[in-house]
Amino acid sequence: MNKLRETLREAIVEAGVKDGMTISFHHHLRNGDYVLNMVLEEIAALGIHDLTVNASSIFDVHEPIIEHLKNKVVTGLEVNYMGGKVGRAITEGIMEKPVIFRSHGGRAGDMENGSSKVDVAFIAAPCADDMGNLSGKYGPSACGSMGYAFSDAMYADKVVAVTDHLEAYPLADVSIPEGYVDMVVCVDKIGEASRIVSGTTRITKDPVGLRIAYLAAQVVKHSGYLKDGFSFQTGAGGASLAVAKYVEEMMEKEHIQGSFCMGGITGYLVSMMKKGLFKTILDVQCFDMEAIESIRDNANHQEISATRYASPQAKSCAVDSLDVVILGATQVDLDFNVNVHTDSQGYIMGGSGGHCDTAAGSKLSIVVAPLIRARLPLIVDEVLCKSTPGETVDVIVTQRGIAVNPKRTELKELLVKAGLPVKEIKELKEIAEAITGVPQQVKPEGRVVAKVLYRDGVEIDTIKSVK
Amino acid sequence: MKIVKNAVAGTLESSDIFIRVEPSEQLEIDIESVVKDQYYKAIYQAVDEVLKEFQVANGKFSINDRGALDCVIRARMETAVKRGGEC
């Protein structure tokens, strides 16, 4: 049996890509990904139309997809996250069919239960052998974990692996095994290494960011969850990392042995594990080179699939065992609903990713954000898009104070007793507006350009076109 | 004050405002802002107050707001007027 194909075109034709089909991609190569653009260019050249692209995320590097949307090569888009460039075109109404947004767990879950069907998956593989054993840990375009690609490999009808680093059979360290892979294509380059991983992610020096991080860490401390067995997820942003730093100091001081940290993994979390503060890392995506080296070399640093990370269809998933998650927000409303899909004008510039999954699963979800950004107050009467329902959001931390979800009365008492600046969420809104003035309401009223599905696959909100 | 020469004040950093002033017979005010939809009126009002305070009746003001608070807008306007004008 020979799975190697000379060209991408040959593989596309043999996989039977036809008008109206759904093809899928994963986003581990992030803003350095060449594969999605490469495949769509070939498909357009073959004269195929009316495809749905199910990509775990669309980044600015995927801007060429806008041409394919205009030319009707692609007429459907399903994503968990979308960067600002393509997001703007979508919000201005370039597509007829609304974009479908899912969460990371929801995407995997919808593939598992069959409600999201993929005809052909194209899997960017930093390392492969000629029978289609795949890994993200090796090769010039290494990305570390390939967590989001597992469901594509397992549930798509046909699976095409695209690599730029072919090794002799059998690959010694396999993430996605050959049994799922139909064809392998070796191209010159699947991505731009410097854009696949961030440079060293640094802790913020911004005093507002540090104040927010300090307060968030105090919330973690006094919530009662910071004890032996503690599990933790935080993002790669400068302020999220600062929370990790403060949490690290507290764990060291109190000799706390954590169980796991999870999510997008950075060198910072790797160093916490190396110090013995966490037993293991559950890694669905690597953000920097140190994380990639660690997942390759350290057995305690495990690769997990999107299913194991957050699928609500699985018998259990790791977010269900998560104690504390630190999350971001572009807007929060008085009911604690969080928007991470659009900016304050209503333009798409993000998506849930694992936001609503971790908020739902964790025991304590903390949203950290500055109370005011470029004059715009964080807290509004009603978010432009409900990405994560307020029932699952426990605490909002800003530099001017902390709001606790009224459902969490005991937590609120603990934080008040600790002397933290706990305020009503309405008070925080008023503090901001006293500084900024009351903004005029912006509410896009155009047609629906995107539907947001909650992690269980049920529509939670829509996004409307601007102007 | 009368605007007699070109001058600038402020920056294009987030939460700041960049103001360019040039001599002109009439008073012309052009406001661009990242928060135009939410705060255009407030920005215009802050700009207008400073012009009135310094009795400026001429000059072309090109204003690029990056989400500055009222106090910042007033301070940058006052600086631009004083740099470009004379009594």
Query: From the CB of residue A47, how many other CB atoms can be counted at a distance below 10 Å?
Result: 8
Sorted by sequence, the CB contacts under 8 Å of residue B48 that are 6+ apart come out as: none
Region B56-74: mean pLDDT is 97
Q: Do A452 and A460 touch, CB atoms closer than 8 A? A: yes
Total number of residues shown for chain A: 467
Residues found in chain B = 87
Domain covering A207-444 assigned CATH 3.30.1490.20 in the classification: no
Mind listing the pLDDT tens digit of every residue in chain A (467 residues)?
999 999 999 999 999 999 999 999 999 999 999 999 999 999 999 999 999 999 999 999 999 999 999 999 999 999 999 999 999 999 999 999 999 999 999 999 999 999 999 999 999 999 999 999 999 999 999 999 999 999 999 999 999 999 999 999 999 999 999 999 999 999 999 999 888 887 656 788 899 999 999 999 999 999 999 999 999 999 877 788 899 999 999 999 999 999 999 988 999 999 999 999 999 999 999 999 999 999 999 999 999 999 999 999 999 999 999 999 999 999 999 999 999 999 999 999 999 999 999 999 999 999 999 999 999 999 999 999 999 999 999 999 999 999 999 999 999 999 999 999 999 999 999 999 999 999 999 999 899 999 999 999 999 999 999 97
The burial of B87, by beta-carbon neighbours within 10 Å (0-12 exposed, 13-18 middle, 19 or more buried), is given as exposed
Q: Give whole-number Cα distances, A335 to A45, A339, A361, in Å.
A: 49, 12, 19
Structure tokens at A366: 């903390």
How does DSSP classify residue A322? -
Residues of chain A with CATH 3.40.1080.10: 4-196, 207-444
pLDDT tens per residue, range B32-45: 999 999 999 999 99
Residues from chain A contacting residue B37 (CB–CB below 8 Å): 345, 440, 442
Mean pLDDT value across chain B: 97
What stretches of A284-394 show up as alpha helix (H) in DSSP? 289-297, 306-310, 355-361
Distance in angstroms (rounded) separating the CA atoms of residues A205 and A241: 11
Question: Under an 8 A CB cutoff, do A437 and B14 touch?
Answer: no
pLDDT at A427: 98
Domain B2-86 has CATH 1.10.260.30: no
Angle between helices A35-45 and A8-15 (to 10 degrees): 70
Could you state, in order of their start, the residue ranges of all structural domains in chain B? 2-86
Instruction: Give the chain B residue nearest A346 (alpha carbons).
Output: B37
- Angle, CA of A1, A143 and A55, to the nearest 5°: 75
* Alpha-carbon span A301 to A270, nearest angstrom: 8
Q: What residues of chain B lie within 8 A of the CB of A437, using their CB?
A: 39, 42, 70
CA pair distance A439, B40, nearest whole angstrom: 9
Shortest distance between the Cα of B38 and any Cα of chain A, in A, equals 4
Question: Chain A neighbours among B 67-86 (CB < 8 Å)?
Answer: 67-70
Q: Please provide the DSSP assignment of A156-222 as one string.
A: SSEEEEEES-EEPSSPSS-SB-GGG--EEEE-S-SB-HHHHSBSPPPPP--HHHHHHHHHHHHHHHH
Mean pLDDT calculated for residue range B47-76: 97
Q: For residue A373, give how far its alpha carbon lies from the nearest alpha carbon of chain B (Å).
A: 8
- Phi then psi for residue A452, to 5 deg, are -105, 120
Say whether B67 and A375 touch across the interface (CB within 8 A).
yes
**A374 vs B42, B66, B70: nearest CB:** B66
The pLDDT, as a whole number, for residue A264 is: 86
Neighbours of B24 (CB within 10 A): 12
Q: Render the burial of A124-146: b for 16+ CB within 10 Å, e for the rest.
A: bbbbbbbbbbbbbbbbebbbbbb
Cα of first residue to Cα of last residue in chain A, in angstroms, is 55
**Nearest to A395, CA basis, from A352, A428, A419:** A428
Which of the 8 DSSP states describes residue A136?
A: S
Find how far residue A328's CA is from the centre of its chain. 12
For residue B31 the two structure tokens come to: 């406001």
Contact A213, A368 (CB under 8 A): yes
Task: Output the six-digit token pair for A164.
Answer: 């730029």
Burial (CB < 10 A; 0-12, 13-18, 19+), residue B70, is: middle
Which chain A residues are closer than 8 Å to B40 by Cβ? 440
On the 0-12 / 13-18 / 19+ scale of CB atoms within 10 A, B44 is middle
Instruction: Name the CATH superfamily housing domain A4-196.
Output: Glutaconate Coenzyme A-transferase (3.40.1080.10)
